[in-house]
Amino acid sequence: MRQKEQSRMIEVLIRARYPILYVVSWEEPRVTEMLIEIGKRGQKKVFEWSCSGGIVPAGTHVQAVKMRDAGTKDPLVALNQVTEELEPAIYIFKDFHPFLAKSNFSVIRKLRDISQNLKSSYKTLVLISPFLQIPPELEKDLTVIDFNLPDIEELGILLDRVCEEVKDNPKIKIDLDASGREQILKAALGLTLAEAENVFAKALVTGGKLDSDDIGEIFAEKRQIIRKTGLLDYCEPELEFDDIGGLASLKQWLVRRKLAFTDNAQAFGLPAPRGVLLLGVQGCGKSLCAKAVSSIWQLPLLRFDVGKMFCSLVGSSEDNIRRAISVAESIAPCILWVDEIDKAFGNLSSGSTDSGTSQRVLGTFLTWLGEKTSPVFVVATANNIKILPPELMRKGRFDEIFFVDLPDIKERHAIFDIHLRQRDRDPEKFNLEKLAASSEGFSGAEIEQAIISALFDAFYAKRELSDDDIMQALVETVPLYRTMEEEIEGLRDWCLTRARSASVHQETIATQARRHLELE
C-alpha cells in the first residue's frame, strides 16, 4: 500500500471512531506528522504523550518545558485526561508497550474503559511503538496497523529537500536526470526516512556530489542497514540456471513466470505469483534454485534467516517476522527466500514450550502469504517434511510445491559437467557417462565434494585430474542415500501425491494422474 493510501485508511478509521489504533513502526516522527495532517483536515487537536514529557500538543519541541504538564507523565493520569477532554482530538501515545505488560492490570483495565468512552466521542487514541505487544484482554479493543516504510514518492520529497539544503554549497555538485533519480530512490527503498536521509547525506558528503554513480554506494549502505536488523540478508545475484544441473521442470516453471510482475502481464490478466515451496533431499539444489530465480527474474533477493527469528536477541519473534515482511514489501518487487523453513516451524508438533510463539509467528506468515497483494515472491525450502505444519501446504499459500529428488543419471551427467567447468576442467576430457553411472544415489552436493576430493588427490600426487581420481573418490564416499534410504524413500512417497516433481523424468503420466486423483 502506498503512503497516501495508508494515510487515507487511517483517516477513515479515525473518522469511523475506531477508539484505539496501535501503529507498529520505528518512525515516530513520520507517523506523528501524518496524524497532525489528519488532525488538521478533521479539525481536531493533536496531542502526544511520552513517559518523559507527559501530554503536550503534537509537534511541540521537547525543550518547551512550560508546555509540559508533569502530572500526566503517569500513564493512568494521562489516560484520565484523555477521557476528560471534551473537544475532538487525536492522542498519540509513544512507546506505550511497556505499560501493556501483564502486571499493569490497572492500565489495561483503564484502556478497556476508555475504549468504550471513545467510541461515543470524537477522540482517538493512537499508540505508536516499534513492537507489537497486546495483552489478550485488549485484543478486541485495538486495531493494529503495520505502518509501511516510505514509498518512492516520500523518498523523493526527502531527496529534494536534502538537495535543496546543499544547493548553495559550491563544494557539492548534484547531477541527476530523471532516471538517475529514480534509480537512487529505488536503491533506498526498504529504509526508514531517517536512514534514507543519512544515506543520502553520506553519499553527498563523501563524494561531494550526487549522481547515478552513487547508486552502488546507496545499495551497499542499505545492505548494511538491512543486515543490522539481523533477519534479512541482501544477496547478490550470482547464479544462472546454467549453473544448476537437471531440475528442468522447476526451471521451466520459473522461466515462464519471469515477466509475471510486469504491467504487461497484469494487463494480460495474469495474477502475480505468490511463491513456491521446494521440498526434498538435502544437497540437491534447492537453495541453488532460490538464488538463481533472483538473477533470472532480475529482482533483488532477500534471504530470511528463520533460525534467528526465534533468537530473542533480535527482538520478539512476532516483531521479527513483521519487520522482515515490511522490509520485503517496501523493496518489492523482490524475492523473499525463506531457507529451511522446516527449522523454524518444525517444533510445532513436538509440543515444546515455545510452540505457542511459533504458532503465532506461523499464523502471521501464512496470513500474509495468503492475503499479500505486494509483488513479493516467496521461495521457501525444506528438507524435513515430517515436521512441517500441514497449514503450510494448504491451497492458496504457494502457487506450487515442488519435490527436488536425487538427480537421475542424465542430471548427474549435467552436474559433473557443471562442476568440472567451474574448476576450469574441460568436461570433454572426462568420461561423464561412466561417472554419472557410477554415482547412483549421490546428491549434487556429494558429486561436487567427490570432484573436490579428487582434485586434492591429484594435486598431492602432482598430476592432472583424471577419471580415475573421481572414480576413486566416488567409491570412498558414502552417500547420504545409503545411510538414510528409509527416510528418503518415505519423503518420495509422501511427495508423490502432494508435490510436483522438479525434474522431468519422474513425472510420468501415471504419477500425474495419481496426484490429481488424490487432490480431488
Ligand X SMILES: Nc1ncnc2c1ncn2[C@@H]1O[C@H](COP(=O)(O)OP(=O)(O)O)[C@@H](O)[C@H]1O
The footprint of ligand X (CB under 6 A) covers: 244-247, 282-288, 381, 407, 415, 418, 444-445, 448
Cβ proximity of 21 and 143 under 8 Å: yes
Q: Tell me whether residue 258 or residue 343 sits nearer to Mg ion (CB atom).
A: 343
Q: Tell me whether residue 20 or residue 344 sits nearer to ligand X (CB atom).
A: 344
| Residue 158 binding result from Mg ion, ligand X, none, given CB thresholds of 5 to 8 Å by partner type | none
Nearest residue (beta carbon) to ligand X: 444
Q: Least distance from C-beta 484 to Mg ion, angstroms? A: 16
DSSP, res 1:
-
Q: Tell me whether residue 324 or residue 382 sits nearer to ligand X (CB atom).
A: 382
| Residue 244 binding result from Mg ion, ligand X, none, given CB thresholds of 5 to 8 Å by partner type | ligand X
81-103 as b/e: b if 16+ CB within 10 A: bbeeeeeebbbbbbbbbebbeee
Stretch touching Mg ion by CB under 5 A, among 129-137, 285-293, 389-397, 470-478: 285-293
Which residues, 6+ apart, have CB-to-CB distance to 161 below 8 Å? none
| Residue 246 binding result from ligand X, Mg ion, none, given CB thresholds of 5 to 8 Å by partner type | ligand X
Cβ proximity of 446 and 480 under 8 Å: yes
Continuous H helices in 16-74: 28-41
Question: Is residue 287 within the footprint of Mg ion (CB under 5 A)?
Answer: yes
Q: Is beta strand 301-304 parallel, antiparallel or unpaired with respect to 232-235?
A: antiparallel
| Residue 150 binding result from Mg ion, ligand X, none, given CB thresholds of 5 to 8 Å by partner type | none
Q: Tell me whether residue 421 or residue 516 sits nearer to ligand X (CB atom).
A: 421
Question: Is residue 443 within the footprint of Mg ion (CB under 5 A)?
Answer: no
Q: Least distance from C-beta 432 to ligand X, angstroms? A: 14
Q: Give the integer Cα–Cα distance in Å for 170 and 176.
A: 16
Q: Tell me whether residue 108 or residue 338 sits nearer to ligand X (CB atom).
A: 338
Q: Least distance from C-beta 286 to ligand X, angstroms? A: 3
Question: What phi, psi does 78 have (nearest 5°)?
Answer: -60, -45
Q: Give the integer Cα–Cα distance in Å for 470 and 467.
A: 5
| Residue 288 binding result from ligand X, Mg ion, none, given CB thresholds of 5 to 8 Å by partner type | ligand X
| Residue 54 binding result from ligand X, Mg ion, none, given CB thresholds of 5 to 8 Å by partner type | none
Q: Tell me whether residue 72 or residue 287 sits nearer to Mg ion (CB atom).
A: 287
Which residues, 6+ apart, have CB-to-CB distance to 295 below 8 Å? 237, 238, 239, 240
Q: Tell me whether residue 199 or residue 445 sits nearer to ligand X (CB atom).
A: 445
Q: Give the integer Cα–Cα distance in Å for 233 and 382.
A: 19
Q: Least distance from C-beta 281 to Mg ion, angstroms? A: 11
Cβ proximity of 55 and 78 under 8 Å: yes
394: closest CA among 372, 367, 434? 367
| Residue 245 binding result from ligand X, Mg ion, none, given CB thresholds of 5 to 8 Å by partner type | ligand X
Stretch touching Mg ion by CB under 5 A, among 7-15, 281-289, 366-374, 487-495: 281-289
Specify the DSSP element, H or E, that contains 236.
none
Q: Tell me whether residue 185 or residue 288 sits nearer to ligand X (CB atom).
A: 288
Q: Least distance from C-beta 257 to Mg ion, angstroms? A: 21
Q: Tell me whether residue 134 or residue 296 sits nearer to ligand X (CB atom).
A: 296
Nearest residue (beta carbon) to Mg ion: 287
| Residue 415 binding result from ligand X, Mg ion, none, given CB thresholds of 5 to 8 Å by partner type | ligand X
Q: Least distance from C-beta 243 to ligand X, angstroms? A: 6
**Contacts within 8 Å (CB) and 24+ apart, 443-446:** 443/281, 443/282, 443/283, 443/284, 443/406, 443/407, 443/479, 443/480, 443/481, 444/245, 444/283, 444/284, 444/285, 444/288, 444/407, 444/415, 445/282, 445/283, 445/284, 446/283, 446/477, 446/479, 446/480
Site of grid cell 513517559: 51
Stretch touching Mg ion by CB under 5 A, among 21-29, 43-51, 210-218, 282-290: 282-290
Number of residues that bind Mg ion (CB under 5 A): 1
User: All 3 cell numbers of residue 351?
Assistant: 509440543
| Residue 283 binding result from Mg ion, ligand X, none, given CB thresholds of 5 to 8 Å by partner type | ligand X
Stretch touching Mg ion by CB under 5 A, among 143-151, 286-294, 388-396, 477-485: 286-294
Q: Tell me whether residue 3 or residue 287 sits nearer to Mg ion (CB atom).
A: 287
Question: What phi, psi does 267 have (nearest 5°)?
Answer: -65, -30
CA distances, 43 to each of 60, 84, 218, 282, 512 (Å): 18, 19, 40, 61, 63
Q: How far apart are the first and last CA of the chain?
A: 36
| Residue 210 binding result from Mg ion, ligand X, none, given CB thresholds of 5 to 8 Å by partner type | none
Binding interface with Mg ion (CB under 5 A): 287
